[in-house]
Structure 1
Amino acid sequence: MAHKAYIALGSNLGDREGHLTGALQYISGITGTRILSISNIYETDPVGYTEQGKFLNMVVLVGTSLSPLRLLDELQKMEQEFKRSREIRWGPRTLDADILLYDDIKLDDPRLVIPHPRMLERAFVLIPLKDVNPGFMVGEKTLEDMIQECCDKDGVKLYKKMDNGVGFCG
């Protein structure tokens, strides 16, 4: 596994926790990809389009031999398996998967921007990212500094502690 990628997962329709668990199982079955670490699960208020139910969010660190765009293809296949609908921007969804970081690369492709363009503005991403990479920094700013600057931080609550020993095995 030559590359490391951080993936944000979220769900606010149906069996939210079941969708996240199913996503972990799906990701662990992607050829050339292995889960290295998972965050706790957090229940979060919706951001953007707020007329919807609360989300469950987490972050997964994977080792992968896939390119960023190939990994994106696999994650989008997974979203389709979970019947993801894209009718309303930031709207309700059974499962959402976003590549946050991939090694130290910067990518600006019409299909994928890395680092994720809004991740530093979202406590619902930064708090679980801190579980899997507490030392992550942008310039001189720590994750804790960035979390404190987020306007959504009060809407992020621990939902379930996850065993982060050796990663998820499916």
Structure 2
Amino acid sequence: MTQAYLGLGSNIGDKAAMLDAAVEGLAARPGILVTARSAAYRTPPWGDTDQDWFLNAALGVETDLSPHGLLEACLSVETALGRVRARRWGPRVIDIDVLHYAGAEVSDERLVLPHRFVRERAFVLVPLAEIAPDLVIGGETVSEALSRLDASGIVRFP
């Protein structure tokens, strides 16, 4: 089994219930074992800021899926939960990103690992730091990357 980390986010409907449903959906997939889950954090929107606030969380998983297989499992759970991709960085019922996969580096049209924006987004790093503060991504730990960012608008929910 290979260690990987996922980021989850929702800003439509019952956000907390949607995060729970995503975790349950992932845990039910063959080849995925959820090993760690952060608390949920209320976060402001990023990129397209004209939308509701998000709930974000992070998961640690062990998997026997390939990086692309894990991505497909995440996309399948998103689809099952009603995700519609209407606009980039727009509102979403659920978003599940593969953030890190055992140090693998992948770069193609479907997947970039580690996630290209992981070290730039406090809303990803705050929950990830809760479950994997010493995880090294891009030559620095999650905690070090987070220390460079403004996380003042991010609060643990509830």
Classify the TM-score, shorter chain. over 0.9
Which SS does the other structure have where 1:135 is aligned?
coil
How many residues are aligned here? 158
Within the candidate set 145, 155, 158, 1:157 is matched to 155
Deviates more, 1:138-147 or 1:72-81: 138-147
CA RMSD of aligned residues (A): 1.3
Report the TM-score, using the length of structure 1 for normalisation.
0.88
Counterpart position of 1:163: none
Counterpart position of 1:41: 40
Q: CA deviation at 1:64?
A: 0.6
* Structure with higher RCO (Cα < 8 A, 6+ apart): 1
Cα distance, 1:32–1:145 mapped onto 2, change above 3 Å? closer
Q: CA deviation at 1:140?
A: 6.2
Instruction: Confirm or deny that 1:98 pairs with 2:97.
Output: yes
Post-superposition Cα deviations, 1:140-169, rounded to whole Å, max 9, x if no partner, equal 644333213224x12211114xxxxxxxxx
Counterpart position of 1:6: 5
| AA in 1 matched with 2:147 | Q
Counterpart position of 1:110: 109
Counterpart position of 1:72: 71
Q: CA deviation at 1:81?
A: 1.1
2: distance between equivalents of 1:21 and 1:139? 29
Which SS does the other structure have where 1:100 is aligned?
strand
Cα distance, 1:143–1:14 mapped onto 2, change above 3 Å? same
1: distance between equivalents of 2:69 and 2:137? 26
2: distance between equivalents of 1:97 and 1:138? 18
Counterpart position of 1:124: 123
Q: CA deviation at 1:139?
A: 6.4
Structure 1: gaps of 5 or more residues: 161-170
Report the TM-score, using the length of structure 2 for normalisation.
0.95
Counterpart position of 2:142: 143
